[in-house]
Amino acid sequence: MSGPSTYVPKSALGRWFESRLPVMGLVHSSFIAYPTPRNLNYFWTFGAILSFMLGAQIVTGIVLAMHYTPHTAFAFASVEHIMRDVNWGWFLRYAHANGASMFFVAVYIHMFRGLYYGSYKAPREVLWILGVIIFLLMMATAFMGYVLPWGQMSFWGAKVITSLFSAIPFVGDSITTLLWGGFTVDNPTLNRFFSLHYLLPFMIAGVVVLHVWALHVVGQNNPAGVEIKNVQRDAVPFTPYATIKDSFAVVVFTIVFCWFIFYVPNYLGHSDNYIEANPLVTPSHIVPEWYFLPFYAILRAIPSKLGGVLAMFGSIAILAFLPWLDTSKVRSGAFRPVFKVLFWVFVVVCCGLGYLGAMPAEGGYVIASRILTLLYFLFFLSLPFIGWFETTKPVPATIADAVLAKSGGSVALAGAAHEKP
Ligand code: HEM
């Protein structure tokens, strides 16, 4: 889609440099001339929002690390030192902690957008799978970051989740010992989590480069789910159209983000994490951060420990098979009446699991978790059959047709005079 660049720099120095390292041509073909479907809605701005949030997390994290001490005797106090003594330290910490939550808000919207509009279907399978890898890396990063303040939830969350690995037959105990760096969660655990928490965001950045590369090879999907056929009629250049729209969305998202930082900085956190870690006192409810709750509910829904671990990891792994599970020839959910209903049921199921993950694992909550876990997997397993039996609505032949069907007007050619269809 981006294709080889035809960009020629204006200055002689620019041409000299470009003939040796064509980086300006790459930027030009990828972010300026790149043909963008003209019918993208605001759900397509979340990739830019995610890129912004990744940058924000890396910058705030690097500065926090300058003041943080990864040792069990000092970690909790060093975080309090950041909050009270370091200039703007409270802001850095709240921005980083709430930033993690906002990052997950954005990634869930981004993923559900992909699911609804069938963005995982050919030829975007690799792009989608790279996204699933990013999601796994994000979860690992967030989990290890939460351990660093060394509060009660940090410690007990780490204990519960790392202990899960011991359920794996034969090698489970060795894996758990390796994760802990000893025989329980202690200083070596904190050290290795700090080291990995610093490393993983850069790995995420690397996979994001592949993700965007794959995107630029196949081009963006769009709400109509049909490919660009005529660049003049179906697409607009990335700059200024997408750059301005993305920038506007980033600003709006940042306002919401700032509202959390400045008005309710602890709303998404757990009050127990303001108590220093104590291996001798178990909190009455051990709950992970909100973005892990649906998976936590799946884990606890299964009576056996190994079964729970398999179901939890399976609930993420199944995403990678989506391109082959969905057999429908029609890509966008907008033209798939049955899929559309199932999609919204699936959204409700995920929210329900999130709610149940925060509740105690007893009585009716466990039964409800089991039912919703079953529905979660049924959604994916029903996709091949729906693809075969569903009667879809007529799909517009081109993106321009989809725009016209909505507006009833004419399609303005990018950079050219208006043309009657
Ligand atoms: C750090 C996290 C991520 C970043 C920075 C990122 C970045 C982007 C960007 C910039 C785009 C193009 C703009 C857009 O469509 O919004 C995009 C598209 C896409 N992303 Fe991501 N992404 C991330 C995570 C994910 C995850 C977790 C998944 C799925 C599991 C995913 C799946 C997709 C798909 C399928 C597209 C193509 C959408 C389309 O053209 O319809 N991404 N991503």
Report the interhelical angle of 363-389 vs 337-357 (nearest 10°): 160
Whether pLDDT at 79 is above 50: yes
Distance (Å) from CA 114 to ligand 1 centroid: 8
What is the rounded average pLDDT of the residues 222-251? 97
**What whole-number percentage of the chain has pLDDT above 90?**
94
Q: Which residues partner with 211 through β-bridges?
A: none
Q: How confident is the model at residue 2 (pLDDT cuts 50, 70, 90)?
A: low
Cα 335 to the center of its chain, rounded Å: 26
Q: Residue 420: is its pLDDT beyond 50? A: no
Instruction: State the average pLDDT over residues 217-243.
Output: 97
Centre of ligand 1 to C-alpha 139, Å, is: 16
Which of 294, 267, 304 lies closest to 353, judged by CA?
A: 294
Pick the CATH number of 288-411 from 3.20.20.80, 1.10.645.10, 2.60.40.10, 1.10.287.980: 1.10.287.980
Nearest protein CA to atom 38 of ligand 1, as residue: 119
CA-proximal residue: ligand 1, atom 28 (nearest): 131
The whole-model pTM stands at: 0.95
> Does the bond joining 123 to the residue before it have cis omega, within 30 degrees of 0?
yes
Q: Which pLDDT does position 1 carry in this prediction? A: 56
Residue 51 tokens read as 């890129």
**Ligand 1 lined by 309 (C-beta under 6 Å):** no
The residue type at 359: M
The residue nearest atom 34 of ligand 1, judged by CA position, is 128
Q: In this model, does residue 302 exceed pLDDT 70?
A: yes
At residue 413, the pLDDT reads 58
pLDDT at 419 over 90: no
Q: What is the reported pLDDT for 418?
A: 37
Cβ of 243 less than 6 Å from ligand 1: no
DSSP 350-415: HHHHHHHHTS-SSHHHHHHHHHHHHHHHHHHHHHHHHHHH--PPPPPSSHHHHHHHHH-SPPBPTT
The residues of the chain that CATH labels 1.10.287.980 are 288-411
pLDDT tens digit sequence for 132-144: 999 999 999 999 9
pLDDT tens digits along 19-49: 999 999 999 999 999 999 999 999 999 999 9
Q: Is the model's pLDDT at 303 over the cut of 90?
A: yes
pLDDT computed for residue 197 by the predictor: 98
Q: With a 6 A CB cut-off, is 114 part of the ligand 1 pocket?
A: yes
135 lines ligand 1 (CB under 6 A): yes
d(CA 54, CA 203): 11
Q: How far apart are CA 131 and CA 408, in angstroms?
A: 36
The predicted-structure confidence for 239-257, as pLDDT tens digits, reads as follows 999 999 999 999 999 999 9
142-176 tens-digit pLDDT: 999 999 999 999 999 999 999 999 999 999 999 99
Phi-psi region of 85 (alpha: psi -120 to 50; beta: other; left: phi over 0): alpha
Q: What is the mean pLDDT of the chain?
A: 95
CATH 1.20.810.10 residue ranges of the chain are: 40-225+236-286
Measured by CA distance, the residue closest to atom 15 of ligand 1 is 44
Residue 411: the pLDDT is 62
The answer, yes or no, to whether any atom of ligand 1 lies below 6 A from the CB of 233, is no
Strands 35-37 and 235-237, by their bridges, are antiparallel
**pLDDT cut 70: percent of the chain above it:** 96
Does residue 46 line the site of ligand 1, with CB under 6 A?
yes
Cα(115) to ligand 1 centroid in Å equals: 11
Q: Is 216 in the pocket of ligand 1 (CB under 6 A)?
A: no
Q: Is 53 in the pocket of ligand 1 (CB under 6 A)?
A: no
127 within ligand 1 shell (Cβ under 6 A): yes
Distance from residue 209's CA to the centre of ligand 1 (Å): 11
How would CATH label the architecture of 40-225+236-286? Up-down Bundle (1.20)
State the DSSP string of 4-21: S-----SSHHHHHHHTT-
Choose one of 58, 136, 211, 220 to mutate for the ligand 1 pocket test, by most ligand atoms within 8 angstroms of C-beta.
211
Q: What is the pLDDT of residues 318-370, one digit of tens each?
A: 999 999 999 999 999 999 999 999 999 999 999 999 999 999 999 999 999 99
Which of 43, 124, 134, 203 is the best mutation target for the ligand 1 pocket, counting ligand atoms within 8 Å of the beta carbon and taking the most? Answer: 134
On the question of pLDDT at 421 being above 50, the answer is: no
Which ligand 1 atom sits nearest the alpha carbon of residue 46? 16
